A and B are shown apart, each in its own frame.
Chain A
């Protein structure tokens, strides 16, 4: 036992002293640092995230108390720089607080779908055969519905609210993520190093964990970040239709719906939540493009 202990210490020491190689992820990171546009949009998203998390620090007015006297003030009004909405609530406060809901409803479903769909997809891609057919045909059934219709149907059945919105969006994003992870896992399955791992007697789950996962994670992550922008728009769309977040909660899609009637009175104010949706989803899209480019490393 004592001998084994000294041996293991020795090995880790050698490993630590050994000359470090550049891993794939380190090269991706270095390329990302060179990509100014991606850095800029990522910084913007970070700023948005900080603002949303620490909303009270960035706002003066309460987002829920309005006044009939201050209804639909235009942009640039003293004290309400971005104006007020149809019941006289400060638009800046509502946008910041609304970002909480919008980002939550945009990121959480993609993350959950990534966990569930990624696991099922990699399993289907690696296992092949009957399991693959079962998972993929079930996916095809879900695929038959356009994601917005599927989400509407689910929230229609379960009722509105943030939780159900997230659930509906998660379900509608699982099929495309299964598709992508299945195809990349199936490509990896036939490579020699997976054969070699099988030849060393490793069990399928061990091979998936140590050899498949680190090779398919990149493309799946890139795809998932591109889904975030779609998800934000879908969540806003559901709220706009009255199937998502319920009033008086602030949410960009819901705000857009409520300000719709004021479009002729105060067009700039009515458009602002839409601008936020646009900027945020655009940033996620550009970030995903940048990630894709950075990960396209020829090894």
Chain B
């Protein structure tokens, strides 16, 4: 299956430099309870996650709900503080003394939320919501409004019709366009789209996806696209990162991951994807049960409790994700020669 090896895949990946480097990002939420609100357990929402985002690409992040996708997004935006790990933006450490300040990070990186209604202030006309970012970054109010007008135009809404409207007067698709305009108002280089199209119905979703593609070209953007919809991720992404219980299990170019998934979880996830072709419909349930509780995740490999190939080594040793700069990386003992897994030697060919 894997004759070419990971080395020669997609040479263009090697060309562009990483705009964002995430190293060992970790967030454990304490679960408080009992007398005096002691924290007696932690939810390991994001655990030791590292990845690179290259300039101009779209990185898709997929996984079941509760796998840490949204927490990762909030950590990247510094909306919540990380327990461990670093984020480097264009080589500069974020939040460090000589690095990039959080305020400057927010000018470079913006986010679009899933709930188009909750993410707009119901008491402000939408143009004000868009103008707020530039305004707090020192632009005069009238100029900030001018920019809001231009952005309304850019996201396909007529300023004359929509500038003074309130969120409750708009449809879901229109609101999400406003949210995108708001995210672009600070002229960021990275936009995180956290389930940004998931709540829209299919026809509107397609329009917004096309808009996102146009905007990416127009404003020279880099996207981090978080979704549980595998078809959408395949359509829009250049590379895909698969998460499971707060860990990255596989990351790589979209075609490679979708055609030749290496991790059993990725395989199961892709089998579960509804096919457009009725002759290729899924016949048996690829995975059963829910993911284990992230409060006390399984030892070793976190997927082992649902993995059909789990062996002793999976219980004992957590598999490492070897994040190669170019190709797909996978965190599974079966893919590492000499890991001790019975399938290890004959599946990996180099």
Flag the segment in B4-12, B19-27, B134-142, B262-270 that touches A. Answer: B134-142
Q: How far is the CB of B317 from chain A (nearest CB, A)?
A: 38
Contact among A12, A24, A199 with B122 in the assembled complex (CB-CB below 8 Å): A24
CA A159 to CA B209, docked complex, whole Å = 71
The proximity string for B residues 62-91 relative to A, scoring 1 for CB distances below 8 Å and 0 otherwise, is: 000000000000100101000000000000
B165, A19: Cβ atoms closer than 8 Å? yes
Q: Across the interface, which residues of A come within 8 angstroms of B113, CB to CB?
A: 192, 195-196
CA A37 to CA B130, docked complex, whole Å = 40
Interface of A is mostly: helix
CA A11 to CA B127, docked complex, whole Å = 11
Contact among A8, A10, A18, A199 with B161 in the assembled complex (CB-CB below 8 Å): A18
Q: Does B255 contact A (CB under 8 A)?
A: no
Q: Does B103 contact A (CB under 8 A)?
A: yes
Ordered nearest first, which 3 A-B pairs have the shortest CB separation? A8-B142, A201-B106, A192-B119
A8, B121: Cβ atoms closer than 8 Å? no
Q: How far is the CB of A120 from chain B (nearest CB, A)?
A: 22
Q: Does B164 contact A (CB under 8 A)?
A: yes
Q: Does B3 contact A (CB under 8 A)?
A: no
Size of B's binding interface in residues, CB under 8 A: 47
A11, B132: Cβ atoms closer than 8 Å? no
Q: Does B102 contact A (CB under 8 A)?
A: yes
Size of A's binding interface in residues, CB under 8 A: 36
A201, B137: Cβ atoms closer than 8 Å? yes
CA A79 to CA B205, docked complex, whole Å = 79
Q: Across the interface, which residues of A come within 8 angstroms of B162, CB to CB?
A: 18
Q: How far is the CB of B282 from chain A (nearest CB, A)?
A: 34
Q: Does A130 contact B (CB under 8 A)?
A: no
A202, B136: Cβ atoms closer than 8 Å? yes
Known: A201-B137, A203-B136. A20 touches B146 (CB 8 A): no
A24, B145: Cβ atoms closer than 8 Å? no
Interface centre among A18, A20, A214 (most CB of B within 10 A): A18
Q: Across the interface, which residues of B come within 8 angstroms of A195, CB to CB?
A: 74, 79, 113, 119
Interface centre among B106, B123, B127, B137 (most CB of A within 10 A): B123
Q: Does B246 contact A (CB under 8 A)?
A: no
CA A206 to CA B165, docked complex, whole Å = 22
Known: A24-B122, A299-B122, A299-B168. A19 touches B146 (CB 8 A): no
The proximity string for B residues 99-125 relative to A, scoring 1 for CB distances below 8 Å and 0 otherwise, is: 000110011001101010011111111
Known: A11-B142, A17-B160. A201 touches B102 (CB 8 A): yes
The proximity string for B residues 174-201 relative to A, scoring 1 for CB distances below 8 Å and 0 otherwise, is: 0000010010011000000000000000
Contact among B79, B115, B132 with A210 in the assembled complex (CB-CB below 8 Å): B132
> Which A residues form the contact surface with B (CB < 8 A)?
4, 7-12, 14-15, 17-25, 191-193, 195-203, 206, 210-211, 214-215, 299
CA A199 to CA B111, docked complex, whole Å = 7
Q: How far is the CB of A126 from chain B (nearest CB, A)?
A: 14
Q: Across the interface, which residues of A come within 8 angstroms of B163, CB to CB?
A: 14-15, 18
Q: Across the interface, which residues of A come within 8 angstroms of B119, CB to CB?
A: 192-193, 195-196
Q: Does B143 contact A (CB under 8 A)?
A: yes
20 contacts between A and B (CB under 8 A): A10-B146, A11-B143, A12-B142, A12-B145, A14-B163, A17-B160, A18-B161, A19-B161, A22-B169, A192-B113, A192-B118, A195-B79, A199-B106, A200-B182, A200-B185, A201-B136, A203-B136, A214-B121, A215-B121, A215-B122
Contact among A9, A199, A203, A299 with B79 in the assembled complex (CB-CB below 8 Å): A199
Contact among A21, A22, A200 with B110 in the assembled complex (CB-CB below 8 Å): A200
A199, B125: Cβ atoms closer than 8 Å? no
B160, A23: Cβ atoms closer than 8 Å? no
Closest to A10 in B: B146
A191, B118: Cβ atoms closer than 8 Å? yes
Q: How far is the CB of A231 from chain B (nearest CB, A)?
A: 28
CA A11 to CA B162, docked complex, whole Å = 14
Contact among A20, A192, A196 with B164 in the assembled complex (CB-CB below 8 Å): A20
Closest to B136 in A: A202
Other 19 A-B pairs with CB < 8 A, given A8-B143, A200-B133: A7-B143, A7-B146, A14-B160, A14-B163, A15-B127, A15-B164, A18-B162, A193-B120, A195-B119, A196-B111, A200-B132, A200-B137, A201-B133, A202-B132, A210-B124, A211-B121, A214-B123, A215-B121, A299-B167
